Amino acid sequence: MNITMNQLEKSFARISALDHATAILDWDEAVVMPSQSGEARAAAQSELKIIKHEILTNPKLYELVLNLECKNIALDPWELANLREIKKLILRANSVEKDLIEAQSIATSECQQNWKVMRDDNNWKSFLPLFEKIVHLSREEVAQRSKSSEPSGYDCLLDQFSPGISSNQISEIFNQVKLFLPELTQEILDFQMKTDRTLLDSSKEHLSASIDSQKNLGLSLMTSLGFDFTKGRLDTSHHPFCGGTPHDVRITTRYSQTDFIESLMGVIHETGHALYEQNLPERWTHQPVGMARGMDIHESQSLFFENCIGRNKHFFKFMFPIIKNNLFKNKDSSIPLSQIIFDRLHQVKKSLIRVNADEVTYPMHIILRFEIERDLILGKLEAKDLPEVWDLKMQEYLGLSTKNDFKNGCMQDIHWPSGAFGYFPSYSLGAIFASQLFSTIKKEDTNFNENLSQGNLTFIKNWLRNKVWSQGSLYTSQELIFKATGENLNPVYFKNYLREKYLE
Amino acid sequence: MNITMNQLEKSFARISALDHATAILDWDEAVVMPSQSGEARAAAQSELKIIKHEILTNPKLYELVLNLECKNIALDPWELANLREIKKLILRANSVEKDLIEAQSIATSECQQNWKVMRDDNNWKSFLPLFEKIVHLSREEVAQRSKSSEPSGYDCLLDQFSPGISSNQISEIFNQVKLFLPELTQEILDFQMKTDRTLLDSSKEHLSASIDSQKNLGLSLMTSLGFDFTKGRLDTSHHPFCGGTPHDVRITTRYSQTDFIESLMGVIHETGHALYEQNLPERWTHQPVGMARGMDIHESQSLFFENCIGRNKHFFKFMFPIIKNNLFKNKDSSIPLSQIIFDRLHQVKKSLIRVNADEVTYPMHIILRFEIERDLILGKLEAKDLPEVWDLKMQEYLGLSTKNDFKNGCMQDIHWPSGAFGYFPSYSLGAIFASQLFSTIKKEDTNFNENLSQGNLTFIKNWLRNKVWSQGSLYTSQELIFKATGENLNPVYFKNYLREKYLE
């Protein structure tokens, strides 16, 4: 290998070690850390971040990149892509002043902490000045980034989570979704109204299960889906997440004694993330090109497993006996358990809270947030006007009002208080990616439904491994989807997927 | 504060963050890490070590130290001591060449891994060449260190674990112990032979307890001893240890279903370490002067709690009801449980294995290792002659032979295969420190025995907090013991402690 390339790779192996430490410390904080150790942990994490930033902004590192670009050395496609990703990371790290990073760190930490209490108190008035600071600093970040790195404007925030896709492209896709989804949602709601609701309404009492048995169910399904327990774990945390490193993937879920669906779907969702991480290209471990493509593709994998598989009627034939065996062995056989659980998994309902939304109504929650945050960052909207705009859009998109209900309105998510503008679109881009991948695989596997009903995921996993997981960050997500499905990202697949699943 | 001092402190806050990460990753590896994630973890840990080494060996850091020394700036005693510790760390990091550090890292990793298998197979022949490499590299390390940093020779290895004490001083102390301990041991054995052995021999069946109840017992005693659970945890690992950071102390123990004594004494021992860490001076968190003094003082605290308190007959009056309540609530009351457990806690027996040795015979195991490793490092003894010398010394010191029994002889400990020469003395220095502290506190607390029998440790803990815990690394351990007890380290206290405990 080229010496300069080797030096570059070594620097990124070092950065990867810092990322490893940060990821395990994050897991530790969410899962096992004692209650009063947070301050020392935050200080340590912040120092690790600074060390990483110093390595990335060391001028010698960028010289190596320029050196490689000038010398016209023959690099293979992976090396070229790695160089592209490296250059992007370095320019990105250099594009924001240190003072701003520190100011953001202090402001988001303050805003996040207060948000928890103020949201519970529906206290928008006290929250607003803290949040205005966050918006102000994010606009400043955009201004600084736009000077020296691509892309610019709101798109440079988007780019952290869904690299390579512009806000114009997202607008176009989301506008298509807006054209069909409200109507389709109403059709599905009408369709579901016609079926017998008594079962669903009386179902709650039948979904209770001990946390131990729910945990065993989760472990059992993770095994069926192919999670590698020699290089990963399942634990419990307040919010489910997939963390750790590709060689040590830590997923979590949370348990409700009265409703096992929450922990189960959490486990399946996070297992989708985990399979992506556990199957990234081994040769490029520690290098930027060896990492997952972005949050949009990551979310496509978790939603593929949660919704396209976990809520698939054929897979349910395989999954139900496992659920029954783990949770309801001695349940009165006269109860139509299978129907109750199936209906619960497919229940569609317009609601105020994004995280509780089903896969049909979910995108409208996201489109609302995308439009608002874009305008907020571009200065077309001020923080103080947020509740009003939120309420108007909620009424338009989901027919619900959040007037004076900040808690269940614009204060519900942690993303904005923590300064994570640009994140939301990745959820629905992921859902659309997932449906397009699902449709393609279904066409290619002649025995698709039968395989699903037997829990045989060999074809699906080999396909995803070849086309997505093993590709790391070799391509942009747009290229990736084109190469995998022969077509650009197209929301028609999402529409057809929902129509087939909920209306047929 | 002085600007230069401030800059120095900032660098060490950064190093402390790396230490924080390393410590939590170590805990994670021992307690929760999946089986096949070790290689990636080792790589990450090694990179963190290199980053720390680079910060420590950055010439600018040493310039700051020299600057402060030259300028004759008024520093308070803590700042002066911090500067002394900082200088020592920097000189130490600079005294060994990078190539040697890497060679040692590879050789110890190889030797340690093979040691586990070869020890079980009693395979000295295959182990020898691997171990010779370790000895060779340690001698090279000593040669390099002796050129540029104090102290020199074998003492520079000692200094990592028991800073400020020389091998001559240790020889002198250990020679005094050798003068009285073999005879005293025999006296105790004769004394114990005279008492009724039937209870002890039949006791094993009465020491079984479920692991859950043992865990609750451990947590209950940790609470009684003053462990702060808002800044620490108890977990399970293969070998008990105290890790984490002062603000997040992670102790572990291991459980035997058939003998609760092991987990219990493990918990009390590690709680001693933990109390030291949790009570270090808050102002000097992250700075070298704010850290525990050394492994000898650390071990004095764990042994103080394990042996001076946990095996004290007055404290037993308080501890036994807690044991009974947690483990043996429904036990047949005709069984003399209290006597059985008390005897088991005080049983003295000459044995081959250090980690199983009681507090009376333990120092002879250590003296043997100290004498051997010193000669090995100084070239007065070669690795190949180890088994013979070990056997001779075992016969002389404990009247037991290890001829051809490498597994229970010179291959039993992990320290040497991992290159940790100089560590062993700290165990027995700690025991002697502990007995001297114990004797002093006992004299000062007019209600000592009564307090112990009520589990009231207020006087003891205030004393230790004032004289030891809050002192961090302000003094050398020799100064510390002199200030605390009004006398230099004196093994007569150890002798009197044992005599009073086991013969009266």
Residue-wise pLDDT for B442-475, tens only, equals 999 999 999 999 999 999 999 999 999 999 999 9
Number of Cβ within a 10 Å radius of residue A406: 23
Convert the pLDDT of each residue in B405-442 to its tens digit: 999 999 999 999 999 999 999 999 999 999 999 999 99
Q: Provide the shortest C-alpha distance from residue A323 to chain B (in Å).
A: 26
Q: A18 and B47 in contact by Cβ < 8 A?
A: yes
B192, B348 in Cβ contact below 8 A? yes
Can you give the pLDDT at residue B247?
97
- At residue A373, the pLDDT reads 98
pLDDT digits (tens, 9 = 90+) for A128-175: 999 999 999 999 999 999 998 789 999 999 999 999 999 999 999 999
Out of B47, B229, B248, name the one closest to residue A17 (CB).
B47
Distance from CA of B230 to the nearest CA of A (A): 5
**Which of B466, B462, B455 lies closest to B223, judged by CA?**
B455
Q: Do A285 and B40 touch (CB under 8 A)?
A: yes
Residues of chain A with pLDDT > 70, as a percent, come to 98
Phi/psi of residue A232, nearest 5 degrees: 180, 170
The answer to whether residue B43 neighbours chain A at the CB level (below 8 Å) is: yes
Is A232 within 8 Å of chain B by CB? yes
Cis peptide before A151 (omega within 30 of 0): yes
Q: What is the pTM of this model?
A: 0.95
Return all residues near B435 (Cβ < 8 A) that are at least 6 apart: B308, B493, B494, B496, B497, B498
Judged by CB atoms closer than 8 Å, whether chains meet at A233 and B16 is answered as no
Which of A6-20, A283-297, B161-175, B197-211 bottoms out in mean pLDDT, i.e. has the lowest?
A: B197-211
Distance of alpha carbon B3 from the chain centroid: 37
Check CB contact of B252 with chain A, cutoff 8 Å.
no
B317 and chain A in contact, CB less than 8 A:
no
Interface A:B, Cβ pairs < 8 A: 113
* Residues of chain B found within 8 Å of residue A15, distances taken between Cβ atoms: none
Contacts of A245 in chain B (CB under 8 A): 37, 40, 44
Instruction: Work out the minimum CA distance from B126 to partner chain A, whole angstroms.
Output: 30
CA distance B279 to B72: 32
Predicted confidence (pLDDT) at residue B302 exceeds the cutoff of 90: yes
Do the Cβ atoms of B14 and A40 come within 8 Å?
Answer: no
| Nearest Cα residue in chain A from B17 | A44
Interface test with A, best of B14, B18, B24 (most A CBs within 10 A): B24
Residue A14: list chain B partners with CB under 8 A: 47, 50-51
Is residue A185 over pLDDT 90?
yes
Chain B residues closer than 8 Å to A232 by CB: 34, 37
Beta carbons of A40 and B233 less than 8 Å apart? no
So what's the pLDDT on residue B148?
A: 82
Chain B CB contacts of A246 under 8 Å are: 40
User: Residue B414 carries which DSSP code?
Assistant: S
CA distance A37 to chain B (A): 5
Split at pLDDT 50, 70, 90, the class of A388 is very high
From chain B, the residues in CB contact with A45 under 8 A are 17
Which of B16, B24, B40 is nearest residue A28 as measured by Cβ atoms? B24
The pLDDT assigned to A504 comes to 86
Provide the percentage of residues in chain B whose pLDDT is more than 70: 98
| Cβ separation B17–A48 shorter than 8 A | yes
Shortest Cα distance from A284 to chain B (angstroms)? 13
Choose, out of B51, B52, B229, the residue to mutate when testing the contact with A (most A CBs < 10 Å): B51
Sheet with A232-236, edge to edge strand ranges:
A232-236, A248-253, A242-245
Q: Is A42 on the interface with B (CB under 8 A)?
A: no
The full DSSP string for B288-353 is: GGGS---HHHHHHHHHIIIIIITT-HHHHHHHHHHHHHHH-TTS-TTS-HHHHHHHHHT-----S-
Structure tokens at B37: 């994630």
Query: Would an 8 Å CB–CB cutoff place A191 in contact with chain B?
Result: no
The mean pLDDT of B25-32, rounded to a whole number, is 96
Judged by CB atoms closer than 8 Å, whether chains meet at B17 and A43 is answered as yes
B35 in contact with A, Cβ within 8 Å: yes
Report yes or no: A127 and A118 within 8 Å, Cβ to Cβ.
yes
Please enumerate in sequence order all residues whose Cβ is within 8 A of that of A428, keeping only pairs 6 or more positions apart, or say none: A174, A177, A362, A363, A366, A367
Mean pLDDT of B174-191: 97
φ, ψ dihedrals at A249, nearest 5° = -85, 120
3-state DSSP assignment of residue B194: helix
pLDDT score of B197: 67
Distance CA B336, CA B203 (A): 10
Phi first, then psi, for residue A235 (nearest 5°) are -135, -175
**Residue B229 in contact with partner chain A when CB distance is under 8 A:** yes
Q: What would the mean pLDDT of A59-70 be, rounded to a whole number? A: 93
Average pLDDT (B294-311) is: 98
SS3 A248: strand
ipTM of the complex: 0.94
Which residue did the predictor score with more confidence, B333 or A93? Answer: A93
Residue A350 pLDDT exceeds 80: yes
Question: How high does pLDDT run on average in chain A?
Answer: 95
Q: Is the pLDDT of residue B224 over 70?
A: yes
Of B32, B51, B246, the CB nearest to A51: B51
What is the rounded distance in angstroms from the CA atom of residue A148 to the CA atom of residue B204?
74
Q: Taking residues A450-460, what's their average pLDDT?
A: 98
Q: Does B36 touch chain A (CB under 8 A)?
A: yes
CA nearest B32 in A: which residue? A233
Q: What's the mean pLDDT when you consider all of chain B? A: 95
Mean pLDDT of B143-152: 89
Query: Taking CA A170 as the corner, what is the angle to CA A294 and CA A394, rounded to the nearest 5 degrees?
Result: 110
Spatial contact of B8 and B65, defined as CB atoms under 8 Å apart = yes
- Chain B residues with beta carbon closer than 8 angstroms to that of A32: 32, 233
Please report the pLDDT score of residue A333 as a whole number: 84
| Per-position b or e across B333-358, b if 16+ CB within 10 A of its CB | eeeebeebbbbbbbebebebebeebb
Q: Which positions ≥6 away from A16 have C-beta within 8 Å?
A: A285, A286, A287, B44, B47
pLDDT at site B5: 87
Residue type, B47: E
Positive or negative, the CA dihedral B159, B165, B168, B173 is negative
Mean pLDDT, range B177-194, rounded to an integer: 95
> Inter-chain contact B47–A230, Cβ cutoff 8 Å?
no
Question: What pLDDT band is residue A29 in, cutting at 50, 70 and 90?
Answer: very high
Facing residues of A235 across strands?
Answer: A252
Q: What is the nearest CA distance from B429 to chain A, expressed in angstroms? A: 32
**Does the pLDDT of residue B199 top 70, yes or no?**
no
Look at residue B141 and tell me whether its pLDDT is greater than 70.
yes
Q: Does pLDDT of B393 surpass 70?
A: yes
Chain A residues inside the 8 Å CB shell of B21: 21-22, 25, 44, 48
Kindly list the domain boundaries of chain B, sorted by start residue: 3-149, 197-345
Note whether B167 contacts A: Cβ–Cβ < 8 A.
no
Give ∠ CA A372-A376-A380 in degrees, rounded to 5.
100
Please tell me the predicted confidence (pLDDT) of residue A199: 67
Q: Fill in the amino acid letter for A392.
A: L
Q: What per-residue string of b and e applies to A216-231 under the rule 16 or more CB within 10 Å gives b? A: bbbebbbebbbbbeeb
Confidence of residue B504 (pLDDT cuts 50, 70, 90): confident
Q: Which residues pair with B232 in a beta bridge?
A: B249
Q: Which of A28, A45, A49, A235 to mutate to test the interface with B (most CBs of B within 10 A)?
A: A28
- Are B20 and A40 a contacting pair at CB < 8 A? yes
The 3-state DSSP class for residue B234 equals strand
Q: How far is A287 from chain B (nearest CA, A)?
A: 13
Is residue A40 less than 8 Å (CB to CB) from chain B?
A: yes
Hey, is B432 helix, strand or coil? helix
Q: Which of A24, A37, A48 sits opposite B248 (nearest CB)?
A: A37
Categorize the per-residue pLDDT at B1 as very low, low, confident or very high, splitting at 50, 70 and 90.
Answer: low
Cβ <8 Å between A20 and B40: yes
Bridge partner list, A392? none
pLDDT of residue A332: 85
Task: Indicate yes or no: CB of A248 within 8 angstroms of CB of B35.
Answer: no
- CB-nearest partner of A36 from B37, B44, B230: B230
**C-beta of residue B93 within 8 angstroms of C-beta of residue B36:** no
